[in-house]
Amino acid sequence: MTASTSGRRLDPAQITIRDVEDGDLPAVQAIYAGHVLNGLASFEETPPDLAEMRRRYAAIRSGGYPYRAAILGGALKGYAYAAAYRARPAYRNTVEDSIYVAPEAVGRGIGRLLLADLIDRCTERDFRQIVAIIGDSANRPSIDLHAKLGFRNIGTLQSCGFKFGRWVDSVIMQRDLGAGDRTLPSRP
Residue 20 vs residues 3, 17, 46, 87: alpha-carbon distances, Å = 25, 9, 23, 23
Nearest to 102 by CA among 130, 125, 70: 70
Domain boundaries, the chain: 14-176
Question: Which pLDDT score, from 0 to 100, does residue 3 have?
Answer: 37
Per-residue pLDDT of the chain (188 residues; tens, 9 = 90+): 333 335 688 888 899 999 999 999 999 999 999 999 999 999 999 999 999 999 999 999 999 999 999 999 999 999 999 999 999 999 999 999 999 999 999 999 999 999 999 999 999 999 999 999 999 999 999 999 999 999 999 999 999 999 999 999 999 999 999 999 999 999 88
**Torsion sign, CA atoms 31, 101, 20, 24:** negative
How far apart are the C-alpha atoms of 184 and 188, rounded to whole Å? 7
**Which are the contacts of 184, defined by CB distance < 8 A and separation ≥ 6?**
none
Question: Which pLDDT score, from 0 to 100, does residue 142 have?
Answer: 97
The answer to whether 159 touches 168, Cβ cutoff 8 Å, is yes
Question: Which pLDDT score, from 0 to 100, does residue 7 have?
Answer: 62
Tell whether pTM > 0.85: yes
Question: Which pLDDT score, from 0 to 100, does residue 4 have?
Answer: 37
CATH number assigned to the domain covering 14-176: 3.40.630.30
Nearest to 175 by CA among 78, 96, 64, 79: 96
